[in-house]
Structure 1
Amino acid sequence: MTEINEFPQTLTIAGTDSGGGAGIMADIKTMQERHTFAAAVVVAVTAQNTLGVQDFTALPAQLINEQFASIAADLKIRACKTGMLADAKHVKLVAANLKKYDFGPLTVDPVMIAKGGAPLLAADAIESVKTKLLPLATLVTPNLPEAQRLTGLTITTAADMEKAARELQKLGAKNVLIKGGHAEQNEVRDYTLLESGESFWVSAPRVATKRTHGTGDTLSSCITAELAKGQSMTAAIRLAKKFVAAAITDGIQVGHGHGPLNHWAYRKEEN
């Protein structure tokens, strides 16, 4: 007999995207594609489309706490991730709940700015991410601007990325993945520093497209899904890179701005 809660379950703790391309919407689509059941704690709600973020509001603390408690009371979350957390108050709130409940390995995607340039994390919240959230992180997945904000370093070379990863480990994150999408190169190269001290690079050809909305969310949620299924950190990161590359390469035409990824593209490659 199949036991209740045996199926791999994942959790995204982030903000919504009314345009469907990023945030919780991208997370759930990705987690579903990777054959896990996705639950969500909504921290913030945005009015957003491919052209940008028009408005957002963070939810009351009580409602966020109740979402965490509700999920913990019924589901068996095997891995979780954070995304948009809005401000210092909500970063601290989320961190407190993650210490209270065991939701498995935590991937922190330190979302700071939307693809269109709108800020999604208050400037004064960065210190809270560093002191409250990173010490809980099994993995942190910043892009280059986020890694610079978290470490205070200027990152322009491969050596800079390696140095920044070491600094992020010092802040408490066990494993670090720095994404190289903002670098001006023909290949998008990401650097991973593992808890063991081992490191590796993953790369994919750069695709000339504006349809990259939700790339970071998709990568981190794919890793979360793989960890929930018991994959190693290395295997999860390598597969997530392939998943995102396929989702960008085999794009879909939605919206007039920074369009979303094709979240079912990698499924076609597997078949």
Structure 2
Amino acid sequence: MATEYVKFVDVTKCDGCRACMVACKNWNDLPAEPQDFLGSAQSHTKTTADTWNVLQYIEHENSKGGLDYLFRHSACFHCTDAACEKVCPEDAISYTDFGTVVIDHEKCVGCGYCVNNCPFEVISLKEYVDKNGDKYRKANKCTMCTDRLEEGLQPACVTTCHTGAMQFGDKAAMIQKAEERVKQIKDRYPNAMVYNPQGVSGTHTVYVLAEKPSVYGLPENPKVPTSAVVWKDYAQPIGKMMIGATTMAVVGAFITNTIISKKKNGKNEDGGEHHE
């Protein structure tokens, strides 16, 4: 089995250069996506189907009354218990041995359930046009460069980060580094914390945040929606069992009716004459 990995993002080391965004675009061959001027250095309001990671710029008044300019590399969290995987009716979303969550475009039907249920709002639908001119949609998001991981490489965004704000490695080692980093910066950032939400059984993008999650537009305690749990863990399996039972009942009824019909027509099951 492959090693389970974590991308560790220390927002206190980020200088907002956006090299991670450029590297992601280049490696994944994502098209440019012109945006209206937002009145700040931030280029996009959030991730989209063609922009899988976004650098957030946040002006925040700290507890001492001073102004902090906060940055955050925003991309898919690759939840251990992913709501998107649970709600996908086509089993198009799955986990890899690395801990990443990926979308199979061959199976995706563009229903949008994953978009509506992601607690971090990082999945989007992209519209395509086939050779006949018909439009169809597919879900898109960060893959954590799973194709690079399979070749023993690190995610493109990590390799281009010149400040060391992003590291990538064994899950336990990265989480330990995050916890140690929080201890180092507590004097400067009293609200500093490791963001690895347990409501989704932990994530494979773990942050050291300088402030509370809400300051960065993140949910304080994200959880897999109850409806998703009911659907994936209860309704779907029961539904499949019922479909299986129904199929068996139909087959059984067909066989029984066939035998009765043959007997009525004076034939044995083997095709011979039936005698009373």
**The TM-score by the shorter chain falls in which range?**
under 0.3
* TM-score of the aligned structures, taking structure 1 as reference length: 0.25
Larger RCO, structure (CA 8 Å, separation 6 or more): 2
Instruction: Please identify the structure whose Cα radius of gyration is greater.
Output: 2
